[in-house]
Amino acid sequence: MSSVVQVAVGVILGADGRVLVSRRHQDAHQGGLWEFPGGKIEPGESLEQALARELAEELGIEVLAASFWFTQTFAYPDKQVALQICKVHQFRGEPCGLEGQPLRWLHPDELDPQSFPAANRPIIEALQNMPSTKLPSPPLYLIADPARCPAGCFLPTLEQALSAGVRWIQLRAKALDQAAYLALAREVLVLTRAHEAKLLLNGAPTLLEEVPADGIQLSASRLAALQGKVLGPHTGLWGASCHDLAELQAAEAAGVDFALLSPVYPTASHPGAPTLGLDRFAALVRQTRVPVLALGGLSPDRVPELMKAGAAGIAVLGGILEADDPGQAVAAYLAALA
């Protein structure tokens, strides 16, 4: 068998939730089957360059915003391929089959795996079970810890952040006992409900029996305590805090909706602690299908490179809670995510 063929694949997402697929020519490899557009990465090309070139050549569109999703390898009898799968969020132009190939926009539930090459079928499975569709928009996750605010300022700071556009909050308060945590959670829930925002509690799932929040954030230790068990069906959001590949794999196996991966950059709260860095963060994101949010040492100017590296969003703690103007800080992060 020859060496692995590297292929850039574009999962082109429409505003209505449908995805674009094209049909292979009958005389091509796997001819007559539908596929996600893309093509071979040429020597010296980056994934980003190959994706832009292939979609321009095949469809006549200009890619404006895309993010890496995951890698899928597959061995056919005659060759082995490694699909580098990217979500295309924005593009310029009207897609058309420049090579004479038929095109269709289909909802993920309309995708028939038997009508696609075997190597494409995991993409269909991922689309049909895509937890990222549950994630709040914009993808800015505020980790709210009262210990990071002066006494009496925590709830007013949250109000400022919510008024500025935060729609997703995790209440983390390790310094509080359970009774005090639940009391604070009830107050925070009132604020989030008023702004139609999501609230996740950091702790045991049984906390939801006391406070009807929108989900649970599992610490790395609680994730490990699952010992490979899969979370049952749930309507809320379940997150997991991860720091390495093993924890990301455990999060994916457990069936969480998203993972936090940290620390990406140095933080003031943990000076000198080991960090992932951008390249390692990107490499880890490529090895999981769980949407990954970047955490640790983030500033608005670093957001674009993280999103380009495959982050599904960002999580912020001190950058908002400890800002002189939390509302302005939120606006800066949101502008970087736009």
pLDDT at site 126: 85
Which of 17-26, 41-50, 107-116, 232-241 is least confident?
232-241
Write the CA distances from 86 to 10, 12, 29, 36, 174, integer angstroms: 5, 8, 22, 10, 37
Comparing 132-136, 295-299, 311-315, the range with the smallest average pLDDT is: 132-136
CATH fold for the domain made of 132-337:
TIM Barrel (3.20.20)
Indicate the pTM of the whole model. Answer: 0.69
Give the separation between CA 70 and CA 87, rounded to whole angstroms. Answer: 9
pLDDT reported for residue 166: 97
Distance CA 169, CA 324 (A): 20
Residue 65, C-beta contacts closer than 8 angstroms, at least 6 positions apart: 88, 89, 90, 91
Task: Compare 314 and 64 and report the one with higher pLDDT.
Answer: 314
Task: Report whether 311 contacts 282 (CB < 8 A).
Answer: no
**171-181: pLDDT as tens digits:** 999 999 999 99
Mean pLDDT of the chain: 90
Distance CA 182, CA 107 (A): 41
Residue with tokens 């007559």: 32
Mean pLDDT, to the nearest integer, of 230-240? 76
Q: Which of 32-41, 77-86, 300-309 has the weakest average pLDDT?
A: 77-86
List where CATH 3.20.20.70 sits in the chain: 132-337
Burial of 143 by CB count in 10 Å (0-12 exposed, 13-18 middle, 19+ buried)? buried
Output phi, psi for 69, to 5 deg: -110, -70
Strands 168-171 and 198-202: parallel
Rounded distance between C-alpha atoms, residue 171 and residue 115, angstroms: 45
Across 122-136, 184-198, 233-247, least confident range: 122-136
Top pLDDT among 87 and 129 is at 87
- DSSP code per residue over 197-261: -EEEEES-GGGGGTS--SEEEEPHHHHHHTTTPPP---SSEEEEEE-SHHHHHHHHHHT-SEEEE
By mean pLDDT, which of 11-20, 35-44, 177-186 is the weakest?
11-20
Q: Is 141 helix (H, G, I), strand (E, B) or coil?
A: strand
Q: For residue 305, what are the CA distances in angstroms to 142, 204, 270, 282?
A: 19, 34, 23, 10
CB–CB of 211/189 below 8 Å? yes
Class of 5-129 in CATH? alpha beta
Q: Where do you find CATH 3.90.79.10 in the chain?
A: 5-129
CA 271, 272, 277, 281 dihedral sign is negative
Q: 26 vs 33, 105, 116, 310, CA distance in Å? A: 8, 20, 13, 34
In the prediction, which pLDDT does 1 show?
41
